[in-house]
Chains A and B, each alone.
Chain A
Amino acid sequence: MQSHLLAAEAGSASSRGLTITLFLIFVAITLAITIWASRQTKTATDFYAGGRQFSGFQNGMAIGGDYMSAASFLGIAGLIALYGYDGFLYSIGFLVAWLVALLLVAEYLRNSGRYTMADVLAFRMRQRPVRTAASVSTITVSIFYLIAQMVGAGALVALLLGIAPGTTFLGMDADTAKIATIILVGALMIVYVTVGGMKGTTYVQIVKAFLLMSGALVMTVLVLAHYKFNLSTLLGDAAQQSGKGSAFLEPGLRYGVETADATKTFYSKMDLLSLGIALVLGTAGLPHILTRFYTVPTSRIARKSVLWAIGIIGTFYLFTLALGFGAAALVGGKAITAQDKAGNTAAPQLAQALGIDYLGGNTGGAIMLAVIAAVAFATILAVVAGLTLASSSSLAHDFYANVIKRGNASERDEVRVARIAALIIGAVAIALSIFAQSLNVAFLVALAFAVAASGNLPAILYSLFWRRFNTSGAVWAIYGGLIVAVGLVFFSPVVSGSPTAMFKDEDWHWFPLSNPGLISIPAGFLFGWIGTVISKEKDTDKYAELEVRSLTGHGAH
């Protein structure tokens, strides 16, 4: 059943029309929600934190919607489909990471902060340097993540609509369609954020999480039913169809690859450790995840929302296991790489194969493909909206209100600036994504996690748990972690000097690893410590207030 799943088929007219129709329905519904949410958005708390009225389950779904990006849905399913076990290894880091958020961050952040990550960092510090640093880091992480998502969206649309080289769609060739998609996605995310604020964005994420979970559940059940719910048979078939045999079910095809060259093998394994540590420590430092904890009334409900999120995200990654191995078995590696070398279309292609199997022939296949493609678009939209909101909140609340206006901006003024900031960040993201759309920028997601783990996480943990920590320490941790992580990646083989690099025709690399975490995360913690001890500043009174408030919820906003 593999041979007929070719590019032309994927973009058949009926499927293409249905995908666009479903996508337009999603856009119409979410825009209606956004307009409704805008009527409920009156104060700064409404705009930044959705009025803090969401329930634990709602926020858990929204966290899932924010977190399960195209990189995890299409990316991990594709990784598993092409490299087998190593894709699964990736998803485990993404899940275990939530324990850091649950045990060390979510509740204390909710109790002591207001709208942004910097509220906690600057609590007992000098406001201007710490908020500037936090704003720089928030915007850097968000922009990296945004570019990866938007470039991915562009490539995906061209693939899913089946715009092959030389053919056109609505008068657009593949490259024009990519740029049009990036602009469309960017415009929609700006509308969600500027009009709907946190309330609108949260509902978009809840709707998306529901669609994504439903789609993944249906596909998982169909895959398992195909193998009479025998996991071993599914794995065996996947291994056989992959052409890699039992190695497909073992670690080592993608990460920590063993070659005859001992040095290469050594670095490849170091790279795996480096990726693993960044995945597990990055999540609790991602600004768009942290701001989600402010949307619930109390820290207990923040805890509940993380518990829901762990359940939802964990279940989802178990589904991707079935989807990835299912795609390897039922679609086959050859058919997948024929569409997209990175495997990003494995899940939609699997949907098509399942539709053909269960819904009666090609029409069924086209319907399933269209549904899952529309879910994938919805996924991208919800994530980019969350990122835009977090970075514009930081620009307005941290940089404008507290650095430029020194805390004297009116609420109304702050929200107005936040809306303008969303417009600016959205426009910058669109421009950078168009510039980057022909480059390989998949590494930017891992880089965003590495920066979050190296700069933001040390600053947050020291702030909450270390009495001696001070302004200098916070500034050193954030800039130090950020500069080391970005600097090492700039000189790594993902930016130059390898066939899959961003600039593959140049070579200025000297750092052997693709992931900087192994060096940059300890460096971030070390910088935070050095910065602290070289400064005499120490505000034990404010730490008393922070500690009491963070543990009891007293004086929480």
Chain B
Amino acid sequence: MTTEVPSSSTERYRAVQESEEFGRLRHAVRSFVFPMTVAFFLWYALYVLLSAYARGFMSAKVIGNINVALIFGLLQFLTTFLIAWYYSRYAATKIDPAADKIYEDLNRDGGRQD
């Protein structure tokens, strides 16, 4: 941290929150989870909307008795698994190291441990 170490824990948390380092951590988290949430929600909403209003399209057979609706549904499973996997990889490389660094700085500065 670039700021001086203040005495009370409230001031310390404020100093950390306002630090550039924490700003980068916040950005790393929010720039991933918010757009990703919007994306999977819209993708799911599209699926539900098509199920309600595009019955002809969803009923089209692709291979044998397997139709678009079934493939679309299975794709929802696939994207859920992929997003979960991708997030865990992103968090491990982009979020966790930055969070650890700030956590350790807070402790070194006499942070409270309970």
| A residues neighboring B (CB under 8 Å) | 85, 88-89, 92-93, 95-96, 98-100, 102-104, 231-233, 235-236, 239, 246, 249-252, 255-256, 258, 269, 272-273, 276-277, 280, 300, 303-304, 306-307, 310-311, 314, 317-318, 465, 540-541, 544-545, 547-549, 551-555, 557
Contact = CB atoms under 8 A, between A and B. Distances in A.
A235 B66 contact: yes
A233 B65 CA distance: 7
A36 to B, nearest CB: 29
Greatest chain B CB density within 10 A among A98, A258, A555 is at A555
A98 B79 CA distance: 12
Contacts of B81: 310-311, 314
Nearest to B85: A307
Interface residues of B, number: 59
Contacts of A236: 64-65
Nearest to A546: B13
B103 A553 contact: yes
Given A99-B83, A310-B80, A239 B69 contact: no
B55 A553 contact: no
B4 interface: no
A303 B91 contact: yes
Given A88-B73, A99-B40, A555 B112 contact: yes
A373 B29 CA distance: 45
B77 A269 contact: no
A103 B85 CA distance: 11
Given A99-B83, A233-B64, A235-B64, 9 more contacts: A88-B73, A93-B48, A246-B59, A251-B55, A277-B48, A300-B96, A304-B88, A545-B9, A554-B107
29 contacts: A89-B51, A95-B76, A96-B44, A98-B80, A99-B37, A99-B83, A99-B84, A100-B37, A102-B87, A232-B66, A236-B64, A239-B65, A252-B55, A276-B45, A303-B88, A307-B84, A310-B84, A314-B80, A318-B77, A541-B14, A545-B9, A548-B13, A548-B102, A551-B22, A551-B26, A551-B99, A552-B99, A553-B103, A554-B106
A551 B40 CA distance: 23
Contacts of A300: 96
Nearest to A467: B17
A318 B76 CA distance: 12
A220 to B, nearest CB: 15
Nearest to A299: B99
A272 B65 contact: no
A478 B93 CA distance: 36
A551 B29 contact: yes
Contacts of B53: 269
Given A269-B52, A303-B88, A555-B113, A251 B16 contact: no
Contacts of B85: 307
A547 B88 contact: no
Contact of A547 (B26, B36, B106, B107): B26
A251 B51 contact: yes
Contacts, number: 158
B59 A552 contact: no
Contacts of A553: 99, 103
B102 A250 contact: no
B114 A272 contact: no
A552 B96 CA distance: 8
B33 A103 contact: yes
Contact of B37 (A104, A239, A310, A541): A104
A541 B32 CA distance: 26
Nearest to B96: A300
A45 B10 CA distance: 26
Contacts of B30: 465
Contacts of B73: 85, 88-89, 92
Q: A252, A256, A541, A552 — which one has the most chain B CB atoms within 10 A of its CB?
A: A552
A423 B65 CA distance: 52
Interface string B24-58: 01100110110011001100110111011101001
7 smallest CB-CB distances across A and B, nearest first, come from A232-B64, A276-B48, A251-B51, A235-B65, A544-B17, A545-B13, A103-B33
Given A300-B96, A551-B25, A552-B102, A103 B52 contact: no
Interface in B57-77: 58-59, 61, 63-67, 69-70, 73, 76-77
B70 to A, nearest CB: 7
Contacts of B103: 552-554
Contact of A552 (B63, B70, B88, B106): B106
A96 B91 CA distance: 19
Nearest to B49: A273
